[in-house]
Structure 1
Amino acid sequence: MKLLSERLAATCLLVIFALTVLFHGLIITGVIPFGMVWGGRLQTREQMLVFETLSILLNGLMLGVVAAWAGRWKVALNPRILRIALWLMAGLFLLNTVGNLLSTSAVEKAVFTPVTLLLTLLCLRLALGIRPVAARPQA
């Protein structure tokens, strides 16, 4: 049962990270206005491009960490490195949750605060769990 919960946490994280990359791509293309992200503090398109590009890169990296941890991306990485990355991700999302609570954007507070809190809990679940057997490198 415990392994199932970790698999579910990993699957949820993978889906959320993929949707987040798509969301930030829609911001870069102008489909979604950038005033509703980053606490409503971005002033120019150039600022938005820097922040959104960084966000896409970080979310892609985190997607890779979770995929490697769950065995969905077959790459030989030290499990300790992956576990540290998951702890760092949990800390980042906890800080992001606080930032969302302090946001001037009502949408960011209402929508993204619960999402980042969920991401914190899911990352903690993986960081505290046992890496699935299927994800472990074969000897």
Structure 2
Amino acid sequence: MWNPSRKIRIIASRMLTVLFSLTMIFHVVALFQIIPYQYLWGGRLSSLEEMYVMETVSLLVNGFFLWSSIRYLQYINQGLVPIWIRLVFSFIGFIFLLNTIGNLVAFTNLETLLATPVTAFLSVISFSLVPKYENKTS
């Protein structure tokens, strides 16, 4: 089984930190209606109110993902990544895997073409943080 090195895990968690930060900015932009809600959520939103609910939930969830990425970096720097944070990244990876499938069947080409590779990438990176890590030299 693939067990990424400490360096790979640090790079992956930093990438997730940046990507989740950018995703949160995207959701804020969506909340301010700079992006029409018809282009969000695979074109399945039917009202502005629905968009506010979904984007607020997305912002909160991505905030949790961002917090998890920061915690992972803190743990890896201490030399031991506990199982609970690895389980969180299993969950995050699975969520992004499902999201990738959802993006493939989106009603809008924009979501299919832009979001699918991003969510697939996020899923792979998240799953790379799951294997057990223990720094034997600490």
Q: TM-score, normalized by length of structure 2? A: 0.87
Which residue in 2 is equivalent to 1:37? 40
Which residue in 1 is equivalent to 2:53? 50
Identity %: 33
1:117 lines up with 2:120 in the alignment: yes
Matches within 5 A, 1:74-93: 79-93=82-96
Which residue in 2 is equivalent to 1:22? 25
Which ranges of 4 or more aligned residues in structure 1 deviate by more than 3 Å? none
Matches within 5 A, 1:2-13: 2-13=5-16
Q: Secondary structure at the match of 2:90?
A: helix
Distance 1:66 1:118 in 2: 15
Gaps of 5+ in 2: 76-80
Gaps of 5+ in 1: 73-77, 134-139
Match for residue 69 of structure 2 among 66, 71, 76: 66
Contact 1:69 1:131 (8 Å CA) reproduced: no
Q: In angstroms, what is the RMSD of aligned CA positions? A: 2.2
Contact 1:69 1:79 (8 Å CA) reproduced: no
Aligned residues: 130
Contact 1:89 1:123 (8 Å CA) reproduced: yes
**CA drift at 1:127:** 1.0
